[in-house]
Chains A and B, each alone.
Chain A
Amino acid sequence: MTDPVLSVRDLRVTFQTNDGPVQAVRGIGFDLGRGETLAIVGESGSGKSQAMMAVMGLLAANGKATGQAVYRDAQAGGRPVDLLALSDRQLNKVRGARITMIFQEPMTSLDPLYRIGDQLAEPLRYHRGLSKAAARPRILDLLRLVGIPEPERRIDSYPHELSGGQRQRVMIAMALANDPDILIADEPTTALDVTIQAQILTLLADLQKRLGMAIVFITHDLGIVRRFADRVAVMRAGEMVETGPAERLFTAPEHPYTRMLLDAEPEGRKEPPPAGAPELLTGRDVRVTFRIGGGLLKRGRDFHAVDGISMRLVQGQTIGVVGESGSGKSTLGRALLRLLPSTGRVAWLGRELPQGAQEMRPLRRELQLVFQDPFGSLSPRMTVGRILGEGLLIHEPDLSPADRARRAEAALVEVGLDPAMRNRYPHEFSGGQRQRIAIARTMILRPKLIVLDEPTSALDRSVQKQIVMLLRDLQGKHGLSYIFISHDLAVVRALSDYILVMRDGRVVEEGPTEMVFDAPREAYTRDLMAAALSRDRFGRLALG
Chain B
Amino acid sequence: MTDATLPAVSRSLWQDAWLRLRKNRAAVASAVVLAVLALVGIFGPMLSPHSHATIYQQYVRVAPSFEAYPKAEDILPGFEREMKRARLTGAEPVLEGSRLSVALTAGEKPIDPRVTRYFERSELFSAPQLDLAEDGMTGTLTVSVNRQYFILGTDNLGRDMLTRIMIGIRISLAIGLLASVMALIIGVAWGATAGYLGGRIDNVMMRIVDILYSLPFIFFVILLLVFFGRSLVIIFIAIGATEWLDMARIVRGQTLSLKRREFVQAAEALGATRRGILTRHIVPNLLGPVVVFVTLLVPKAILLESLLSFLGLGVQDPMTSLGLLISEGAQNMRGAAWQLIGPALTLTAILFALNFLGDGLRDSLDPKER
Contact = CB atoms under 8 A, between A and B. Distances in A.
A337 interface: yes
B51 interface: no
Contacts of A463: 1-2
A428 B7 contact: yes
Residue among A296, A379, A430, A436 facing the most chain B CB atoms (10 A cut-off)? A379
Contacts of A438: 266
Contact of A364 (B6, B7, B271, B280): B271
B99 interface: no
B2 A433 contact: yes
Nearest to B270: A391
B4 A390 contact: no
Nearest to A375: B262
B268 interface: yes
A368 B266 CA distance: 9
Interface residues of A, number: 48
B203 interface: yes
Interface string A413-435: 00010000101110111101100
A466 interface: yes
A211 interface: no
Contacts of A376: 261-263
A58 B262 CA distance: 34
Contacts of B20: 18
A371 interface: yes
Interface string B254-297: 00000001110111111111001000110011000000000000
Contacts of B1: 43, 45, 430, 432, 460, 463
B11 interface: yes
B265 A371 contact: yes
B214 interface: no
B263 A378 contact: yes
A339 B272 CA distance: 12
A380 B368 CA distance: 15
A311 interface: no
Interface string B1-45: 110101100111110000010000000000000000000000000
Contacts of B262: 371, 373, 376-377
Contacts of A299: none
Given A296-B203, A380-B285, A381-B12, A394 B263 contact: no
B268 to A, nearest CB: 6
Interface string A235-254: 00000000000000000000
Nearest to B271: A364
A44 B266 CA distance: 26
Contact of B10 (A378, A393, A424): A424
A394 B273 CA distance: 8
Interface string B159-199: 00000000000000000000000000000000000000000
Contacts of B284: 379, 381-382
A144 interface: no
A360 interface: yes
Contacts of A390: 267, 270, 272, 280
Contact of A433 (B4, B263, B273, B367): B4
Nearest to A376: B262
Interface string A1-15: 000000000000000
A78 B10 CA distance: 55
A395 interface: yes
Interface in A376-417: 376-383, 390-391, 393-395, 416
Interface string A28-48: 000000000000000101000
A226 interface: no
A394 B270 contact: yes
A125 interface: no
B272 A380 contact: no
A433 B272 CA distance: 24
Nearest to B204: A296
A287 interface: no
A357 B6 CA distance: 39
Interface string B195-237: 0000010010000000000000000000000000000000000
Nearest to B15: A425
A430 B2 contact: yes
Interface string A345-366: 0000000000001001111110
A391 B263 CA distance: 13
Nearest to A427: B13
A339 B266 contact: no
Nearest to B288: A381
Given A425-B13, A427-B13, A394 B2 contact: no
11 contacts: A337-B269, A339-B268, A364-B270, A364-B271, A373-B262, A379-B280, A380-B263, A425-B13, A427-B13, A430-B4, A466-B2
